[in-house]
Chain A
Amino acid sequence: MLNDIFNILLPHIALGGFIIILFLMGMILPIRMFKYSRPTAIIGIYVTIALLSTVQMEPQYFGFKNSVMSDTYTLLFDFIILICGFLVAILNRTLIYSIKRNAYTFYAILLAAILGAMNVVSANDFLTLFVSMELLGFSTYYLIASAKGYPSKEASFKYLITSAVSTGVFLFGVSYLYGITGSINFSAIYEKVANEEFSLMYSVSSILIVLGLISKLAIFPFANWIIDVYKGCETSVLAFLSTIPKLALFGIIARLLVFPLGSSFELTFVIALFSLITAFWANTYAIKENNVKVILGCSASANASYVLLAASLVSVYNLSTVLFYLICYVFMNIGVFAFLNIYGDKKPMHTEDFKGFFAKNHGLTFSYAISILALAGIPVTSGFIAKIYLFSGIAKSGLIFVPFLITLMLLTVAALFYYLKILVPLFEECDKNTEIPTLKALFSQKFVLVTSAAIILVIGICPEKLIELCQFIAYNI
C-alpha cells in the first residue's frame, strides 16, 4: 500500500493536498486576499510536475490491486495535462478578478479537474475510470458556470445534461462487459478477450463504452452541445475545456482501443464512421458561422474527429501520430484562447470585430495568426507536420481507408475556409472613422500567447525529437 503510494500516487496526492489547502484558505482568509489563490494553484501544479519524477514506470507498474497503472504513456499525458493546467492557471487572472469571492474555490476545482484528468489516463479498471471521469466532469461543470452572467450557467447546464446521458451509456456498456467477462479490470478483461472468441455482445458493449467516452470530445451522437457551451463559456475556461478533457479522454480511449476493447472489428468501423460524420457536420456548420467562439468550437469538434479516426485504426504507428497531433493541438488552442482572453470576454466576438487589428497590435496579432495557421495546417507551423503525420498514418492503414482519407482531406478544405474567415479580417483595412483598439495585455496573458506560438513554431521547424518521443512511447505501450 505504502509502496504503491510512493511509486505512483505522490503527484496525485500532492495535487490533492493543494486542493485542500486552497479550500482552507478560502474559508480562513478574508476576501480581499483572493489574489493569493492564483500563485498557490500555480505552485501546486509546479510541485506536481516536479513530483512526476518519482513515478515508477519501467516497464509498467500496477498499483492498488491493479486499479491504477503507470508507464511512459501515462507519464507523458500527465506531463502535458499539467503543462496545459499551468498555462490555463496563468491565464485565469481576469476571470478571478471578476469573481473575487469564489477565487479560491475556482482554483481548487481547477486543480480537481486536473487531478481527475490525470487519474482518467492512469486508470486500469472501469470503476477508477468512472470515478475519475466524474471528478473531471463535475469540476468542468463548475468551471464553465463560474463566470458571471446567464450564458455561462446555460452552457454549464447543457454540458451537464449531455454528460449525464453519455455517462449512462458508458455504464450500460460496462455492465454488459462485466456480464461477459466477469471483471472490470482492464488487464483481466484483456486476458479473457485475447483467449476466447466473443460475439456481437462484446462488440455492442465496447461500442457503448466508447460512445460514452467520446461525448466529452463532441463526437457525433453527442456533438452539438459544443456550440452552446463554447458560446457561453469564458475564454480562459475554454482554454481549459478544449485541452485537458480532450487529452484525458484521448489518453484513455487510445489505450482502451489497444487493449481491452481491441478485439472488436465492428468498433473500428463504427468509430471511423462517427468521426467522419462529425468532421462533416462540424466543418460544414462552421462555414456559415460568424462567431469566433462557435467557429473554434466546431474546429475543436472537427480536430477531435480526425484524431479519433486515426486512433480507431489501431496500430503503433497510428498511436504515435495521435500523440503527436494531440501535443501540437493543445498548444494551438491555448494560444488562440489566450488572444481572445486578451481581447476581452465582454465584447462581441464576431469575425468582423477583429478588423484591422494587425495595424495596431503587431506582436499579439502575429502570434494569434500563427496559432490559427497552425490549426489550418499551413507550413512552418506544427499543424502542418501534425496533419501530414496523421494522414500518413491513415494512408498506411490500408487501401480500404483511402476513401475515408479523401473525405477527411476534402473537409480540411472547408476548414481552411473558416480559418481564413477568422484570419483575414485581422489584416484588413478599417474605415477611417472606426477606431482600432490597442489591446492592453497583462504580462501573464502575453506570456501564454507568446509561449504557445513559440512552441508551435519550434515544433514546426524541427519536429524530429518530438516524433521520436511519441514513437518511443507508442512502441512501449
Chain B
Amino acid sequence: MNILLSPPILVFLPMIVSLLIISPLFTSNEIVVRRFAKGFCAFHFLYTILMLGFFNPENPYVSELHFFGMDWIQSLGIKFVFKIDAISMILSALTSFVFLISIISSKFNIRKHHKFYYSMQMLLMSAILGIFTSGDMFLFFLFWELEMIPAYFLIGGNFSNVTGNEFEGNPKKSAIKFILFTFTGSMFMLLGILLLHYFNVISSGNITANFSEIFVQGIPMKIQLFIMACLLVGFGVKLPFVPLHTWLPDAHTDASTPVSMVLAGILLKTGGYGLYRFNYQLMPDAFRLIAPILAIFAVISIIYTAFVCYTQTDIKRIIAYSSISNMGLVLLGLCAFNQIGLTASVFHMVAHALVTCGLFMIAGIVYLRYKNRDINTLSGIASKMPRLFGFAVLIVLASIGVPLFAPFVGEILTIIGALNSDFSFILKACAILSLPLLILCSCYMLKFLHNSFYGIKSDISETVNDISIHEFIVLASVLAGLIIFGLYPNALLNIIMGLN
C-alpha cells in the first residue's frame, strides 16, 4: 500500500496533468478540458482521502527521490524528501478539496484561455501540495517559489472576461503587487534558511537540510532571533499579519471567483504552515521569546482589519479583510505555544478555508447575476434567489462563529489556548483583547447579509436564475464540511493531536 500511496505521486500528478493540458497535443475544446480537470481533481481528492484513511500518526508517509542514484544536491545536503505528518496530511486533503470545488465553480466564471487557466490551476495545486509535504528546507523553498508564477498568472489573467465594469479593478497591477510582496518575503526567507543551514552545519557538523535533522541548540540566541525575524517576514507576507497585508485585498478582489477561493482557502495557509514548520517546530526557544510580540501583532491584525472590514462596501473586499482577521487568530493560536493553541490554529485554518470558499462563492454568484458587488446598491436578493439566500445565511452564521459550525470550535479553542499559555501574561491579555472579534465579525457580516439580501429590489421586472447545480454542489459541500466539523470536531482534532 505504501508504494501506491506515496507523497511524490500526490505532488507530481497535478504537475504532469498541468503539462498535459498545456501541451499543443491536448484538445483545446473548452468542455473537454474542464471535465478532464474536474475529473482529475475528483480522483486526486479520493486519493488524498485514501491516504488520510490509511494514515498512521506513528508511521508518517516518508519517501525520498534519487536522481541517478544520488541525492538531489549532496554538497548542500539537500535531499528530495517528502514527509507527511498529521498536519501536512490534513492540509493536503484540504488543498485537494478546495481545488476540487474551485474547478467545479470555474464553469461559469472562466470565459477564455481555458487550457492556460486549468494548466496554471494544476501547477499551483502541485506547488502548494509540495509546500505542505516537503521534508527539506530547500525543497520547501523550491515549491514556495514555484507557486508564485501560476499564482501571478491566475490573479492577473482576467479570465472572467468582464470589461467596462467598475468592479473590474486592475488585475495586472494587483498581480504585480502580490508577486513583489511575496518575492521580497521569500528572499528574506531564503536568507533565514541559508543561515539556519549554515549554522546547523557549524554546530552539529552534519550537512543536512532535513527538517527532522536540524537542531538549533548550538546556535547563539541572537542569531536564532535574527533567523526567526527573516523567516517571519517571509511567512508574515503570506499569512498575512498587519503591516504586511496590503497585497491581499487587491489580489483577492481582482482575481476571478475560483482563484479567490484558492487564494484565500489555501495560499494563506501556506504561511501558517511555514510558521509552524520552521519557527514553531525548529526553533522553539526563540519562538517562546518572540511569541508575546507576535501575539500583539496578531491582536492588531484581528481588531484593526475587523474595523477596516466594517467600512468596506465591496463584498469581496469584506471577505478579504475578514480573512486577514481570521489568520490573525491562527497566528494567536500558534503563539500560545501549547497543545491546545496549536491544535486550534490548525483546526481554524481548515474551518476558515471552508468558510471563505463558501463566502467567495456567494460573492461570485451575486456578481455573475447582477454585475455588482457593492452592498449599498444591492438589495432584495433574497426574494429573487431564495436558495442562495438559505446558503448565505448559514455560511455567514458559520463565519460569525455561531456554535454548531466549525469556526466556532476554532475560535474558542484558540482563545482557550492563549489563556492557558503559561509563559507570558501578555498572551492572556491578547486572548481577552481578541474576544471583540466575535462581535465585530457579526457586525460586518450581518451588515453584508442585511444590505444585500434583505429589502426590496427596485427593479422588479428583472429576473435572475437561482443557483445552478454546480453552484449548489460547491455550496452544499462547503456547508456539509462546516456542519460536520462543527458537530464532531474530534474527527479533525484526533488526527492533529495523534502526532503531537
Is A392's CB under 8 angstroms from B198's CB?
Answer: yes
**Does A47 make an interface contact (CB < 8 A)?**
no
- Of A389, A409, A424, which is within 8 A of B156 by CB? A424
Write the nearest CB–CB distance from B99 to chain A, whole angstroms: 20
For chain B, residues 161 to 206, give those with C-beta under 8 angstroms from any C-beta of chain A.
172, 176, 179-180, 183-184, 187-188, 190-191, 194-195, 197-198
Is A417's CB under 8 angstroms from B180's CB?
Answer: yes
Write the nearest CB–CB distance from A355 to chain B, whole angstroms: 13
Is B149's CB under 8 angstroms from A378's CB?
Answer: yes
For chain A, residues 153 to 205, give those with C-beta under 8 angstroms from any C-beta of chain B.
none
Q: How far is the CA of A464 from the CA of B78 in the complex (A)?
A: 10
**Does A388 make an interface contact (CB < 8 A)?**
yes
Given A462-B67, A464-B70, A464-B71, CB of A396 within 8 Å of CB of B180: no
**A362 cross-chain contacts in B, Cβ below 8 A:** 24
**Does B142 make an interface contact (CB < 8 A)?**
yes
**Does A439 make an interface contact (CB < 8 A)?**
no
Is B145's CB under 8 angstroms from A378's CB?
Answer: yes
**Does A412 make an interface contact (CB < 8 A)?**
yes
**Does B469 make an interface contact (CB < 8 A)?**
no
- Of B75, B112, B188, B198, which is within 8 A of A471 by CB? B75
**A399 cross-chain contacts in B, Cβ below 8 A:** 223
Q: How far is the CA of A467 from the CA of B70 in the complex (A)?
A: 12
**B138 cross-chain contacts in A, Cβ below 8 A:** 388
Is A410's CB under 8 angstroms from B187's CB?
Answer: yes
- Shortest Cβ distance from B185 into A: residue: A413
Is B198's CB under 8 angstroms from A416's CB?
Answer: no
10 closest cross-chain pairs (CB), A and B: A409-B187, A462-B67, A395-B194, A379-B146, A379-B142, A379-B145, A413-B184, A413-B183, A362-B24, A464-B70
Q: How far is the CA of A38 from the CA of B153 in the complex (A)?
A: 42
Is B183's CB under 8 angstroms from A395's CB?
Answer: no
For chain A, residues 387 to 437, give those with C-beta under 8 angstroms from any C-beta of chain B.
388-389, 391-392, 395-396, 399, 402, 405-406, 409-410, 412-413, 416-417, 420, 424, 427, 429
Write 19 A-B pairs (CB below 8 A) sorted by A numbering. Answer: A363-B24, A379-B145, A380-B146, A385-B73, A388-B141, A388-B194, A391-B191, A392-B198, A409-B191, A410-B184, A413-B184, A417-B176, A420-B176, A424-B172, A463-B72, A464-B72, A465-B68, A467-B73, A467-B75
Is A402's CB under 8 angstroms from B142's CB?
Answer: no
**Does B211 make an interface contact (CB < 8 A)?**
no
Given A413-B187, A416-B183, A468-B74, CB of A392 within 8 Å of CB of B67: no
**Does A461 make an interface contact (CB < 8 A)?**
yes
Write the nearest CB–CB distance from A323 to chain B, whole angstroms: 13
**A420 cross-chain contacts in B, Cβ below 8 A:** 152, 176, 179
**Does B148 make an interface contact (CB < 8 A)?**
yes
13 further contact pairs, Cβ within 8 A, besides A395-B195, A396-B198, A416-B183: A378-B149, A379-B142, A380-B142, A391-B191, A392-B76, A392-B197, A392-B198, A413-B180, A413-B183, A413-B187, A417-B180, A462-B68, A465-B70
- Shortest Cβ distance from A398 into B: residue: B198
**A395 cross-chain contacts in B, Cβ below 8 A:** 191, 194-195, 198
- Of B113, B176, B194, which is within 8 A of A392 by CB? B194
Write the nearest CB–CB distance from A333 to chain B, whole angstroms: 21
Write the nearest CB–CB distance from A476 to chain B, whole angstroms: 15
The listed residue with most A CB atoms (<10 A of its CB), out of B72, B191, B198, is: B191
Is B190's CB under 8 angstroms from A409's CB?
Answer: yes
**A464 cross-chain contacts in B, Cβ below 8 A:** 67, 70-75
Question: 1/0 per position for B110-152, CB-CB distance to A under 8 A?
Answer: 0011001000000000000000000000100111011011001
- Shortest Cβ distance from B149 into A: residue: A378
**B116 cross-chain contacts in A, Cβ below 8 A:** 427
Q: How far is the CA of A420 from the CA of B73 in the complex (A)?
A: 28
Q: How far is the CA of A297 from the CA of B248 in the complex (A)?
A: 34
**Does A384 make an interface contact (CB < 8 A)?**
yes
**Considering only CB atoms and an 8 Å cut-off, how many residues of chain B contact the other chain?**
39
Question: Majority SS of interface residues in chain B?
Answer: helix
Is B73's CB under 8 angstroms from A463's CB?
Answer: yes
For chain B, residues 63 to 90, give those with C-beta under 8 angstroms from any C-beta of chain A.
67-68, 70-76
Interface residues on A, range: 35 or more
- Shortest Cβ distance from A380 into B: residue: B146
**Does A267 make an interface contact (CB < 8 A)?**
no
Q: How far is the CA of A265 from the CA of B312 in the complex (A)?
A: 58
Write the nearest CB–CB distance from A338 to chain B, whole angstroms: 20
Q: How far is the CA of A416 from the CA of B74 in the complex (A)?
A: 28
Is A379's CB under 8 angstroms from B143's CB?
Answer: yes
Write the nearest CB–CB distance from B238 to chain A, whole angstroms: 15
Question: 1/0 per position for B10-39, CB-CB distance to A under 8 A?
Answer: 000000000000001000000000000000
Q: How far is the CA of A194 from the CA of B277 in the complex (A)?
A: 48
Question: 1/0 per position for A338-374, CB-CB distance to B under 8 A?
Answer: 0000000000000000000000001100000000010
Is A378's CB under 8 angstroms from B112's CB?
Answer: no
Is A388's CB under 8 angstroms from B190's CB?
Answer: yes
Q: How far is the CA of A389 from the CA of B198 in the complex (A)?
A: 12
Given A410-B184, A427-B116, CB of A416 within 8 Å of CB of B179: yes
Write the nearest CB–CB distance from A2 to chain B, whole angstroms: 41
Q: How far is the CA of A363 from the CA of B25 in the complex (A)?
A: 12
Q: How far is the CA of A471 from the CA of B73 in the complex (A)?
A: 12
Given A467-B73, A467-B75, CB of A406 within 8 Å of CB of B143: no
**B184 cross-chain contacts in A, Cβ below 8 A:** 410, 413
Is A389's CB under 8 angstroms from B142's CB?
Answer: no
Q: How far is the CA of A84 from the CA of B74 in the complex (A)?
A: 28
Write the nearest CB–CB distance from B402 to chain A, whole angstroms: 43
**B176 cross-chain contacts in A, Cβ below 8 A:** 417, 420
Is A402's CB under 8 angstroms from B191's CB?
Answer: yes
Write the nearest CB–CB distance from B198 to chain A, whole angstroms: 5
Is A461's CB under 8 angstroms from B183's CB?
Answer: no
Q: How far is the CA of A465 from the CA of B148 in the complex (A)?
A: 28
**B152 cross-chain contacts in A, Cβ below 8 A:** 420
For chain A, residues 441 to 477, give those with C-beta under 8 angstroms from any C-beta of chain B.
461-465, 467-468, 471
Q: How far is the CA of A139 from the CA of B223 in the complex (A)?
A: 51
- Shortest Cβ distance from A377 into B: residue: B145
Q: How far is the CA of A270 from the CA of B470 in the complex (A)?
A: 64
